[in-house]
Structure 1
Amino acid sequence: MVEIDVDVESLSASRSGAIWGDVWFTMNGDPFPERGWNDLVIALLVEFQAALGVVDGGDSVRRVRFFDGPYWVEFESLGQGGVKISTNTGLVASCGKVEVEGLVRRLGELGRELVDACAAKGFEGSDDVKRLDRLSAR
């Protein structure tokens, strides 16, 4: 089982406008990179959505690197809507079509939550927020 979590209360913007927040995967009960991992959350969620969409569409493999730290997640098509998700720390989970659809839906929900939270904090002008808003179509 694979889940992705974001703590919208943790959002902050740097002077450059980059938006940071806590984001992590839970794979078969194990957090990755770790629970409460702080990274460029908006940009990362955009990359997760794009990669999962491409792989779910039949392309073979997409790797997404976290922006902070040496971590990455790899999405590999298993055919017929299934996806294998692995990390550079050795965590591996295979998702069937139903679970992939749920993960895609969850990424969209998280995207909308993040866009709303960014608007509430005055971060809505960021290009990453605008892109996430488009990907997380309401």
Structure 2
Amino acid sequence: MQDLQVELIEESIGFTGRGLITGIVFFDFGAFQFPEREWNDAVVVIVDWWLIALINLVEGRTGEVELRFMEGSFWLSVRREVGDECQIQCIEGSRASVQFQCRTSAVKLLRSTLMIAARLQRICYDKGWRSVDVEALENHVGEARKLAGEH
């Protein structure tokens, strides 16, 4: 199974005039990064989407989820296979072109996403950034911690 990490560049996190919290976030598969190493997006919103989707996948509410980016036409298709194993496809564009695929642990993917979400939560708290998006992320971090066996 492929080792993968969700990566967040903390120095890139900022609060836009439109009220979004943005920053560099991407999936790192070692030799392959998706969508790319310097991908900037609405990090609080998309990481919250990812947490919700992965909670549903790990709890068995669904057998397949999409981890979408807000900017551009990029997403990960994550399909549950046997046990904790899942098939990941990195997909780009309107033609749904598969850029990379591998197998990994659904729980490990949830934990990596949870680590990023908790870091985002701390950054927002430290900077005094409050919004509906930050509150939603906080709620889902708590739910994911219970599911991932973290307290």
TM-score above 0.5: yes
Mark the runs of 5 or more structure 1 residues left unpaired by the alignment.
Answer: none
CA contact 2:50–2:68 (8 Å) conserved in 1: no
CA contact 2:44–2:120 (8 Å) conserved in 1: yes
Please state how far the C-alpha of 1:114 moved relative to its aligned partner: 0.6
Q: Could you tell me which of 19, 22, 31 is aligned with 1:20?
A: 22
Please state how far the C-alpha of 1:136 moved relative to its aligned partner: 1.4
CA contact 1:22–1:37 (8 Å) conserved in 2: yes
1-structure distance, mates of 2:84, 2:25: 25
Does structure 1 residue 100 correspond to structure 2 residue 103?
Answer: no
CA contact 1:61–1:75 (8 Å) conserved in 2: yes
- Judge which range, 54-63 or 125-134, deviates more: 54-63
> CA-to-partner distance for each residue in 1:38-83, whole Å, 9 max, x for gaps?
0011111111111122222332211132111111111111131211
1-structure distance, mates of 2:77, 2:134: 23
Q: Could you tell me which of 33, 36, 48 is aligned with 2:38?
A: 36
1-structure distance, mates of 2:31, 2:102: 11
1-structure distance, mates of 2:74, 2:112: 22
Q: Could you tell me which of 73, 78, 83 is aligned with 1:80?
A: 83
Secondary structure at the counterpart of residue 67 of structure 1: coil
Please state how far the C-alpha of 1:36 moved relative to its aligned partner: 2.0
Please state how far the C-alpha of 1:26 moved relative to its aligned partner: 1.2
Please state how far the C-alpha of 1:100 moved relative to its aligned partner: 2.8
Secondary structure at the counterpart of residue 136 of structure 2: helix
The AA in structure 1 aligned to 2:78 is F
1:9 aligns with 11
Percent identity over the alignment is 25
Q: Could you tell me which of 128, 132, 148 is aligned with 1:127?
A: 132
Change in Cα spacing, 1:94 to 1:24, as seen in structure 2 (3 Å) is: same
Q: Structure 1: which 4+ aligned runs deviate by more than 3 Å? A: none
- The count of residues paired between Structure 1 and Structure 2 equals 134
Q: Could you tell me which of 113, 119, 127 is aligned with 1:113?
A: 119
CA contact 2:80–2:106 (8 Å) conserved in 1: no
Q: What's the TM-score, normalizing by structure 1?
A: 0.88
CA contact 1:4–1:25 (8 Å) conserved in 2: yes
- Judge which range, 8-17 or 31-40, deviates more: 8-17
2-structure distance, mates of 1:13, 1:122: 11
1-structure distance, mates of 2:6, 2:31: 11
Q: What's the TM-score, normalizing by structure 2?
A: 0.81
CA contact 1:56–1:83 (8 Å) conserved in 2: no
